[in-house]
Chain A
Amino acid sequence: MREINVAEITSAVAEMARRANVELPADVVDALRSAREREVSGIAREVLDQLILNAERAVATRLPLCQDTGVAIVFIDLGQDAHLIGGGLQEAVDEGVRQGYQAGYLRKSMVRDPLDRSTNTGDNTPAVIHLRLIPGDRVTVHFAPKGGGSENMSALWMLTPAQGRQGVTDAIAAQIAAAGGMPCPPLVLGIGLGGTFELSALLSKRALLRPLGEPSPDPDVAQLERGILAAVNQTGVGPMGLGGSTTALAVHIERHPCHIASLPLALNVQCHSARHMTAVL
């Protein structure tokens, strides 16, 4: 049994909060650059140019990429042979968020009560933690701050099994067309296909952790990803909704077995500021 002090998790979360909000991952920058090369709309190229320049200015100034530095989403894969010592896991992660958002001059965007919105929690806690037990004795911590504008355009459907591939593709494309410029396209679409009501939603968020544009290892799912990407880009919504061929940079699907009566489908919409970082302890 390997012992890991939760203080290490606090440090890792604090550092990732500071860095992930400033340094756009190279896979996202590359995707923006290739989209800029392919794009035919002048206004879309103007928007993409600003986004590429923004990524450079953020690193140069150490300012966050976006003023919405998000809800702190933390995926933890905990090796079942690891033993966490030194305190509670939620408290350790929250302390990392507290330190990182303070030291990094990041925005604190959490209100204590969803209906009485007068009180900000003041330190961007609590983090939303998704914990999974895996073999081994390592702890992998993914930090992915999630902005409100794109999260608001996410959706979940309980389709009928007969709706099939076409129903899935149509639901996603219609949702993105209706969202227009509001979720800050170009987007990354995380899709949870199958499972149950709540599992599909979690899978859709987990799908966003995959390196951008890396296809699903399953050829059928990879084909569906390509089909949905094409359908979404054919909407013509374009960067910031101002038209163009770049509405989404990538579509990632996580698939799971489901009940014979069900076809759960969840869409987690991620803006172009697809921020995520990983630490292995």
Chain B
Amino acid sequence: MTDRTPKKLTLPLTEDAVCGLRAGDVVHLSGPMYTARDAAHQRLMELIRANQPLPIELEGQVIYYCGPTPAPPGRPIGAAGPTTSYRMDDFAPELYALGLRGTVGKGNRSANVRQALLRHPGVYFVAVGGAGALLSDCIKSAEVVAYPELGPEAIRRLVVEDFPVIVGYDCTGGTAFVGEKRLGN
């Protein structure tokens, strides 16, 4: 059973909040989350392998796979929809193991990522790809916190309000995607 009335969640996420989510739920997120995509993930992994501290706290946090357009005058950020998540699939399990609670992106993910959600537990949210202006309206502030030289790929700390997402994969093995089976424990 899924619930299509938006469920409101505050970020960062608690384990209880994650465990209450089921694939297909419509959720509105409010609070802080971090953007990171291909290049930022590579840098985070280099730090993890070198046992160096990370530029962001991961515990309970949500990473949004997003490379926004430049902020026009008077707005905190430009268009800010999700990018395709599978390119981050090799990195995500390790980040979930370090305390990351959720990711936001678009499209299907690997079995390894889905297994990581069962173990830790975690959640994968789908934001509507191409809804860049609509999602930008839900972002109240944005601040570059690492790798400014990466431009759109820098890590930004966003504060969002009623940011609409759909649970793609939950921590019980459920999936919202067509053609995929539930994962067993």
Question: Which residues of A line the B interface, CB within 8 A?
Answer: 42-43, 46-47, 50-51, 53-54, 57-58, 61-69, 105-109, 117, 120, 147, 149, 152, 177, 180-182, 184, 235-238, 240-243, 271-273
Contact = CB atoms under 8 A, between A and B. Distances in A.
Nearest to B38: A117
Nearest to A182: B107
B17 to A, nearest CB: 21
B68 A107 contact: yes
B71 A180 contact: no
Interface stretch (B8-16, B45-53, B96-104, B127-135): B127-135
B176 A117 contact: no
Contacts of A240: 106-107, 126, 128-129, 166
A54 B132 contact: yes
Contacts of B55: none
Interface in B145-185: 151-152, 164, 166, 168, 176-179
A182 B137 contact: no
B106 to A, nearest CB: 6
A273 B133 CA distance: 12
Give 9 nearest A-B pairs by CB, closest first. A182-B107, A58-B133, A184-B129, A64-B79, A54-B134, A54-B131, A63-B133, A57-B133, A181-B107
Contacts of A177: 179
B72 interface: yes
A21 to B, nearest CB: 8
Q: State the main secondary structure of chain A at its contact with B.
A: loop
A64 B135 CA distance: 11
A42 B4 contact: yes
B166 A242 contact: yes
21 contacts: A50-B128, A53-B134, A54-B130, A61-B75, A64-B69, A64-B78, A65-B79, A65-B132, A66-B132, A67-B66, A67-B83, A67-B152, A105-B72, A105-B78, A107-B70, A180-B177, A181-B108, A182-B106, A182-B107, A240-B107, A271-B129
A177 B78 CA distance: 32
B84 interface: yes
A48 to B, nearest CB: 9
B69 A69 contact: yes
A203 to B, nearest CB: 25
Nearest to B107: A182
B106 A181 contact: yes
A43 B178 CA distance: 12
Most B C-beta atoms less than 10 A away, residue of A53, A240, A272: A240
Given A105-B71, A107-B70, A182-B84, A117 B39 contact: yes
